[in-house]
A = this chain, B = another copy of it.
Amino acid sequence: MSPFAESSAGRVAALGEVALLERIRSWLGDAMPPAPEGMGDDCAVLSRPAGNLFAADSLLYARHFDDTAAPVRAGAKLLLRNLSDIAAMGGEPRYAVMSAFLPPATSLAWLEHFCRGLADCAGQYATALVGGDITESSEGPGFSLAITGYAARPLLRSGGQPGDRLYVTGALGGSLRGRHLDFVPRLAEGRWLAARPDVRACIDLTDGLGKDLNALLRDGLGASLDTAAVPLSRAAHDIAGESGESAFWHACNDGEDYELLFTLDGATDPVGFERAWSNAVDTPLARIGNIRARAADEAAVIDAASGKPVGNLSGYTHLGA
Protein backbone atom coordinates (compact mmCIF):
# COMPACT_ATOMS: atom_id res chain seq x y z
CA MET A 1 0.00 0.00 0.00
CA SER A 2 1.39 3.38 -0.97
CA PRO A 3 1.69 6.04 1.73
CA PHE A 4 0.52 8.62 -0.81
CA ALA A 5 -3.07 9.39 -1.75
CA GLU A 6 -4.19 9.82 -5.34
CA SER A 7 -7.09 12.11 -4.52
CA SER A 8 -6.53 15.42 -2.76
CA ALA A 9 -9.42 14.65 -0.39
CA GLY A 10 -7.57 11.60 0.87
CA ARG A 11 -4.44 13.51 1.84
CA VAL A 12 -3.39 14.84 5.23
CA ALA A 13 -3.22 18.32 3.65
CA ALA A 14 -7.01 18.21 3.26
CA LEU A 15 -7.43 18.28 7.03
CA GLY A 16 -4.91 20.73 8.46
CA GLU A 17 -3.04 20.13 11.66
CA VAL A 18 -5.76 20.50 14.28
CA ALA A 19 -8.18 18.11 12.59
CA LEU A 20 -5.34 15.72 11.74
CA LEU A 21 -4.26 15.58 15.39
CA GLU A 22 -7.84 14.77 16.37
CA ARG A 23 -7.88 11.90 13.85
CA ILE A 24 -4.55 10.57 15.10
CA ARG A 25 -5.84 10.69 18.65
CA SER A 26 -8.89 8.63 17.66
CA TRP A 27 -6.79 6.13 15.68
CA LEU A 28 -4.47 5.62 18.65
CA GLY A 29 -7.47 4.82 20.85
CA ASP A 30 -6.69 3.31 24.23
CA ALA A 31 -2.94 3.33 23.51
CA MET A 32 -3.06 7.04 24.31
CA PRO A 33 -4.31 7.92 27.82
CA PRO A 34 -6.59 10.95 28.29
CA ALA A 35 -4.99 14.42 28.54
CA PRO A 36 -2.98 15.72 30.28
CA GLU A 37 -1.12 12.40 30.20
CA GLY A 38 -1.97 11.88 26.56
CA MET A 39 -1.90 14.45 23.73
CA GLY A 40 -3.41 17.86 24.40
CA ASP A 41 -0.98 19.97 26.40
CA ASP A 42 2.52 21.38 25.85
CA CYS A 43 4.02 18.29 27.50
CA ALA A 44 2.57 14.97 28.55
CA VAL A 45 2.08 14.84 32.34
CA LEU A 46 3.10 11.33 33.34
CA SER A 47 1.07 9.56 36.00
CA ARG A 48 3.85 7.19 37.07
CA PRO A 49 7.66 7.30 36.98
CA ALA A 50 9.07 7.45 33.46
CA GLY A 51 11.81 4.98 34.41
CA ASN A 52 15.58 5.00 34.12
CA LEU A 53 15.89 4.06 30.43
CA PHE A 54 15.57 6.51 27.53
CA ALA A 55 16.15 5.91 23.82
CA ALA A 56 14.98 6.96 20.36
CA ASP A 57 14.77 5.26 17.00
CA SER A 58 13.40 6.25 13.61
CA LEU A 59 11.56 4.83 10.62
CA LEU A 60 11.69 6.37 7.16
CA TYR A 61 9.79 5.46 4.00
CA ALA A 62 11.97 3.92 1.28
CA ARG A 63 14.63 3.14 3.89
CA HIS A 64 12.97 1.04 6.59
CA PHE A 65 9.77 0.11 4.75
CA ASP A 66 8.26 0.50 1.30
CA ASP A 67 4.99 0.08 -0.61
CA THR A 68 5.10 -3.68 -0.09
CA ALA A 69 4.82 -3.26 3.69
CA ALA A 70 1.35 -3.25 5.21
CA PRO A 71 1.03 0.12 6.99
CA VAL A 72 -0.06 -1.60 10.22
CA ARG A 73 3.29 -3.45 10.16
CA ALA A 74 5.23 -0.25 9.50
CA GLY A 75 3.50 1.42 12.45
CA ALA A 76 4.26 -1.55 14.69
CA LYS A 77 7.87 -1.60 13.50
CA LEU A 78 8.44 1.98 14.66
CA LEU A 79 7.70 0.88 18.22
CA LEU A 80 9.18 -2.62 17.96
CA ARG A 81 12.60 -1.18 17.08
CA ASN A 82 12.53 0.81 20.30
CA LEU A 83 11.17 -2.09 22.33
CA SER A 84 14.11 -4.17 21.15
CA ASP A 85 16.42 -1.54 22.69
CA ILE A 86 14.50 -1.72 25.97
CA ALA A 87 14.72 -5.54 25.81
CA ALA A 88 18.49 -5.39 25.36
CA MET A 89 18.74 -3.50 28.67
CA GLY A 90 16.57 -6.07 30.44
CA GLY A 91 13.88 -3.45 30.90
CA GLU A 92 10.16 -2.93 30.56
CA PRO A 93 8.73 -0.12 28.41
CA ARG A 94 6.73 2.76 29.91
CA TYR A 95 6.08 5.85 27.76
CA ALA A 96 6.62 6.94 24.16
CA VAL A 97 6.32 10.16 22.15
CA MET A 98 6.36 10.28 18.34
CA SER A 99 7.54 12.90 15.87
CA ALA A 100 6.04 12.56 12.39
CA PHE A 101 7.42 14.10 9.20
CA LEU A 102 4.54 14.00 6.72
CA PRO A 103 4.45 15.08 3.08
CA PRO A 104 1.15 16.88 2.32
CA ALA A 105 0.21 14.04 -0.05
CA THR A 106 0.42 11.43 2.73
CA SER A 107 -2.66 9.24 2.53
CA LEU A 108 -5.08 9.50 5.46
CA ALA A 109 -6.03 5.85 4.98
CA TRP A 110 -2.39 4.80 5.06
CA LEU A 111 -1.74 6.92 8.15
CA GLU A 112 -4.78 5.48 9.89
CA HIS A 113 -3.49 1.94 9.38
CA PHE A 114 -0.02 3.02 10.47
CA CYS A 115 -1.38 4.53 13.70
CA ARG A 116 -3.63 1.54 14.40
CA GLY A 117 -0.68 -0.81 13.95
CA LEU A 118 1.38 1.34 16.30
CA ALA A 119 -1.46 1.44 18.84
CA ASP A 120 -2.02 -2.31 18.74
CA CYS A 121 1.67 -2.89 19.34
CA ALA A 122 1.70 -0.35 22.19
CA GLY A 123 -1.24 -2.11 23.82
CA GLN A 124 0.40 -5.50 23.44
CA TYR A 125 3.59 -4.31 25.14
CA ALA A 126 2.04 -1.99 27.75
CA THR A 127 3.57 1.19 26.34
CA ALA A 128 1.58 4.41 26.70
CA LEU A 129 1.76 6.78 23.71
CA VAL A 130 1.61 10.21 25.30
CA GLY A 131 2.39 12.82 22.67
CA GLY A 132 4.47 14.04 19.81
CA ASP A 133 4.49 16.50 16.96
CA ILE A 134 3.91 16.75 13.22
CA THR A 135 6.18 18.49 10.71
CA GLU A 136 5.30 19.01 7.07
CA SER A 137 8.08 17.53 4.93
CA SER A 138 8.93 16.65 1.33
CA GLU A 139 10.50 13.26 2.01
CA GLY A 140 8.77 10.61 4.05
CA PRO A 141 6.55 9.72 5.74
CA GLY A 142 9.24 9.52 8.41
CA PHE A 143 8.88 9.00 12.13
CA SER A 144 11.00 9.19 15.24
CA LEU A 145 9.84 7.56 18.45
CA ALA A 146 11.40 8.22 21.83
CA ILE A 147 10.73 5.72 24.60
CA THR A 148 11.28 5.47 28.33
CA GLY A 149 11.50 2.26 30.31
CA TYR A 150 12.62 0.78 33.58
CA ALA A 151 15.22 -1.84 34.49
CA ALA A 152 16.10 -2.67 38.09
CA ARG A 153 19.53 -3.79 36.87
CA PRO A 154 20.19 -2.51 33.35
CA LEU A 155 22.18 -4.91 31.16
CA LEU A 156 24.99 -2.90 29.58
CA ARG A 157 27.05 -3.65 26.51
CA SER A 158 30.20 -3.14 28.52
CA GLY A 159 29.94 -5.84 31.19
CA GLY A 160 31.70 -8.72 29.40
CA GLN A 161 34.85 -10.32 30.86
CA PRO A 162 37.43 -12.73 29.42
CA GLY A 163 36.09 -16.26 29.76
CA ASP A 164 32.42 -15.24 29.43
CA ARG A 165 30.37 -17.42 27.12
CA LEU A 166 28.60 -15.79 24.17
CA TYR A 167 24.96 -16.58 23.48
CA VAL A 168 22.46 -15.44 20.88
CA THR A 169 18.68 -15.87 20.82
CA GLY A 170 16.65 -17.04 17.82
CA ALA A 171 18.12 -17.40 14.34
CA LEU A 172 19.93 -14.80 12.25
CA GLY A 173 19.98 -13.51 8.70
CA GLY A 174 17.62 -12.84 5.82
CA SER A 175 15.45 -10.35 7.71
CA LEU A 176 14.43 -8.60 4.50
CA ARG A 177 12.35 -11.67 3.66
CA GLY A 178 9.79 -10.42 6.16
CA ARG A 179 11.15 -10.66 9.66
CA HIS A 180 12.30 -7.01 9.73
CA LEU A 181 8.60 -6.08 9.70
CA ASP A 182 7.30 -8.83 11.93
CA PHE A 183 9.41 -9.71 14.94
CA VAL A 184 8.82 -10.21 18.64
CA PRO A 185 11.02 -7.93 20.76
CA ARG A 186 12.86 -10.08 23.29
CA LEU A 187 11.45 -8.25 26.32
CA ALA A 188 10.64 -11.31 28.43
CA GLU A 189 14.01 -12.83 27.58
CA GLY A 190 15.83 -9.59 28.44
CA ARG A 191 14.11 -9.32 31.81
CA TRP A 192 14.92 -12.96 32.59
CA LEU A 193 18.57 -12.35 31.73
CA ALA A 194 18.77 -9.13 33.76
CA ALA A 195 17.58 -10.99 36.85
CA ARG A 196 20.69 -13.22 36.69
CA PRO A 197 23.85 -11.55 38.01
CA ASP A 198 25.99 -13.92 35.93
CA VAL A 199 24.65 -12.44 32.70
CA ARG A 200 27.09 -9.61 32.24
CA ALA A 201 26.60 -7.84 28.89
CA CYS A 202 23.84 -7.65 26.30
CA ILE A 203 22.99 -5.95 23.00
CA ASP A 204 20.21 -6.33 20.46
CA LEU A 205 21.28 -7.27 16.94
CA THR A 206 20.19 -4.48 14.61
CA ASP A 207 23.13 -4.09 12.24
CA GLY A 208 24.10 -7.78 12.12
CA LEU A 209 26.21 -10.00 14.32
CA GLY A 210 29.30 -8.94 12.39
CA LYS A 211 29.04 -5.35 13.50
CA ASP A 212 27.13 -5.60 16.76
CA LEU A 213 29.43 -8.20 18.33
CA ASN A 214 32.14 -5.55 18.26
CA ALA A 215 30.07 -3.37 20.57
CA LEU A 216 30.60 -5.96 23.33
CA LEU A 217 34.37 -5.97 22.72
CA ARG A 218 35.76 -2.84 24.31
CA ASP A 219 39.50 -2.23 24.66
CA GLY A 220 41.35 -5.43 25.35
CA LEU A 221 38.46 -7.80 24.69
CA GLY A 222 38.07 -10.11 21.70
CA ALA A 223 35.79 -12.99 20.82
CA SER A 224 36.33 -16.55 19.79
CA LEU A 225 33.39 -17.44 17.56
CA ASP A 226 32.12 -20.98 17.03
CA THR A 227 30.98 -20.14 13.52
CA ALA A 228 29.25 -23.51 13.04
CA ALA A 229 27.08 -22.78 16.09
CA VAL A 230 25.72 -19.44 14.82
CA PRO A 231 22.00 -20.11 14.31
CA LEU A 232 21.01 -19.47 10.70
CA SER A 233 17.43 -18.64 9.85
CA ARG A 234 15.49 -20.34 7.09
CA ALA A 235 15.41 -16.97 5.33
CA ALA A 236 19.22 -16.73 5.50
CA HIS A 237 19.45 -20.07 3.70
CA ASP A 238 16.83 -19.07 1.14
CA ILE A 239 18.44 -15.74 0.34
CA ALA A 240 21.90 -17.34 0.17
CA GLY A 241 20.63 -19.63 -2.57
CA GLU A 242 20.08 -16.55 -4.70
CA SER A 243 22.76 -14.11 -3.59
CA GLY A 244 25.83 -16.29 -4.01
CA GLU A 245 26.87 -15.44 -0.44
CA SER A 246 26.72 -18.01 2.35
CA ALA A 247 23.90 -18.18 4.87
CA PHE A 248 26.54 -17.39 7.51
CA TRP A 249 27.47 -14.23 5.61
CA HIS A 250 23.83 -13.15 5.67
CA ALA A 251 23.60 -13.94 9.40
CA CYS A 252 26.57 -11.64 9.99
CA ASN A 253 25.69 -8.82 7.62
CA ASP A 254 21.99 -8.48 6.90
CA GLY A 255 21.01 -6.80 10.16
CA GLU A 256 17.53 -6.22 11.61
CA ASP A 257 17.53 -9.55 13.45
CA TYR A 258 16.35 -7.92 16.70
CA GLU A 259 17.70 -10.89 18.64
CA LEU A 260 19.71 -10.60 21.86
CA LEU A 261 23.45 -11.26 21.99
CA PHE A 262 24.72 -11.62 25.57
CA THR A 263 27.58 -12.91 27.67
CA LEU A 264 27.44 -15.32 30.63
CA ASP A 265 30.06 -15.58 33.37
CA GLY A 266 32.45 -18.42 32.41
CA ALA A 267 32.19 -19.76 35.97
CA THR A 268 28.50 -20.61 35.45
CA ASP A 269 27.71 -24.15 34.30
CA PRO A 270 26.37 -23.56 30.77
CA VAL A 271 24.23 -26.70 30.70
CA GLY A 272 22.43 -25.69 33.87
CA PHE A 273 21.98 -22.17 32.50
CA GLU A 274 20.55 -23.45 29.25
CA ARG A 275 18.17 -25.76 31.11
CA ALA A 276 16.94 -22.85 33.23
CA TRP A 277 16.45 -20.79 30.05
CA SER A 278 14.42 -23.53 28.39
CA ASN A 279 12.23 -23.84 31.46
CA ALA A 280 11.57 -20.10 31.44
CA VAL A 281 11.17 -19.12 27.78
CA ASP A 282 10.42 -20.77 24.44
CA THR A 283 12.92 -18.79 22.39
CA PRO A 284 15.83 -20.86 21.02
CA LEU A 285 19.24 -20.13 22.49
CA ALA A 286 22.63 -20.84 20.91
CA ARG A 287 26.06 -20.83 22.59
CA ILE A 288 28.29 -19.35 19.89
CA GLY A 289 31.67 -18.72 21.49
CA ASN A 290 33.61 -16.94 24.22
CA ILE A 291 34.93 -13.57 25.20
CA ARG A 292 38.73 -13.52 25.49
CA ALA A 293 41.51 -11.13 26.29
CA ARG A 294 43.36 -10.05 23.18
CA ALA A 295 46.57 -8.26 22.37
CA ALA A 296 46.49 -5.03 20.42
CA ASP A 297 47.73 -6.74 17.25
CA GLU A 298 45.17 -9.56 17.33
CA ALA A 299 41.91 -9.64 15.37
CA ALA A 300 38.83 -8.80 17.40
CA VAL A 301 37.00 -11.95 16.35
CA ILE A 302 38.69 -15.29 15.65
CA ASP A 303 37.26 -18.59 14.48
CA ALA A 304 37.20 -20.98 17.45
CA ALA A 305 37.95 -23.97 15.21
CA SER A 306 40.86 -22.55 13.20
CA GLY A 307 42.13 -19.76 15.42
CA LYS A 308 42.13 -17.49 12.35
CA PRO A 309 40.34 -14.13 12.02
CA VAL A 310 36.72 -14.44 10.92
CA GLY A 311 36.18 -12.70 7.60
CA ASN A 312 32.94 -11.14 6.39
CA LEU A 313 32.27 -9.59 9.77
CA SER A 314 31.32 -6.08 8.89
CA GLY A 315 27.57 -5.80 9.37
CA TYR A 316 25.28 -3.21 7.86
CA THR A 317 27.02 0.12 7.38
CA HIS A 318 25.01 3.33 7.51
CA LEU A 319 25.68 6.48 5.53
CA GLY A 320 27.53 4.47 2.88
CA ALA A 321 31.14 5.18 3.81
Within 8 A of B (CB), among A34-75: 35-36, 40-46, 49-58, 60, 63-64
- Among B50, B97, B136, B158, the residue within 8 A (CB) of A63 is B136
Within 8 A of B (CB), among A69-105: 84-86, 88-89, 91, 95, 97-99, 101-102, 104
Closest-CB distance, A52 to chain B (whole angstroms): 5
With A17-B317, A154-B45 as given contacts, are A144 and B99 in contact (CB-CB < 8 Å)? yes
A304 at the interface (CB under 8 A from B): no
Closest-CB distance, A274 to chain B (whole angstroms): 24
Give the number of residues in A that approach B within 8 Å (Cβ atoms): 72
The interface residues of chain B lying within 8 Å CB-to-CB of A135 are 58, 60, 63-64, 142
Closest-CB distance, A207 to chain B (whole angstroms): 8
- Once bound together, how far apart are the Cα atoms of A86 and B95, in whole Å? 17
A134 at the interface (CB under 8 A from B): yes
Beta-carbon contact of A46 and B56 below 8 Å: no
The interface residues of chain B lying within 8 Å CB-to-CB of A109 are none
A197 at the interface (CB under 8 A from B): no
Binary flags per residue of A122-149, CB closer than 8 Å to B gives 1, else 0:
0000000011111111111010101111
Within 8 A of B (CB), among A8-46: 12-17, 19-20, 35-36, 40-46
Beta-carbon contact of A321 and B14 below 8 Å: yes
Select the residue from A98, A142, A158 with max chain B CB neighbours within 10 A.
A142
- Once bound together, how far apart are the Cα atoms of A104 and B57, in whole Å? 19
Beta-carbon contact of A43 and B142 below 8 Å: no
The interface residues of chain B lying within 8 Å CB-to-CB of A50 are 49-52, 54, 148
Beta-carbon contact of B320 and A13 below 8 Å: yes
Beta-carbon contact of B89 and A317 below 8 Å: no
Beta-carbon contact of B13 and A43 below 8 Å: no
Closest-CB distance, A295 to chain B (whole angstroms): 22
A157 at the interface (CB under 8 A from B): yes
Beta-carbon contact of A319 and B133 below 8 Å: no
- Once bound together, how far apart are the Cα atoms of A321 and B13, in whole Å? 5
Closest-CB distance, A54 to chain B (whole angstroms): 5
- Once bound together, how far apart are the Cα atoms of A46 and B317, in whole Å? 28
With A45-B156, A89-B43, A139-B138 as given contacts, are A99 and B58 in contact (CB-CB < 8 Å)? yes
What residues make up the interface of A, taking CB atoms closer than 8 Å to B?
A: 12-17, 19-20, 35-36, 40-46, 49-58, 60, 63-64, 84-86, 88-89, 91, 95, 97-99, 101-102, 104, 130-140, 142, 144, 146-149, 151, 154, 156-158, 203-204, 317-321
7 additional contacts (CB under 8 A) given A42-B85, A99-B144: A41-B158, A43-B147, A44-B54, A45-B53, A45-B151, A56-B97, A63-B135
The 4 closest A-B pairs by CB, nearest first: A16-B321, A146-B146, A139-B139, A99-B144
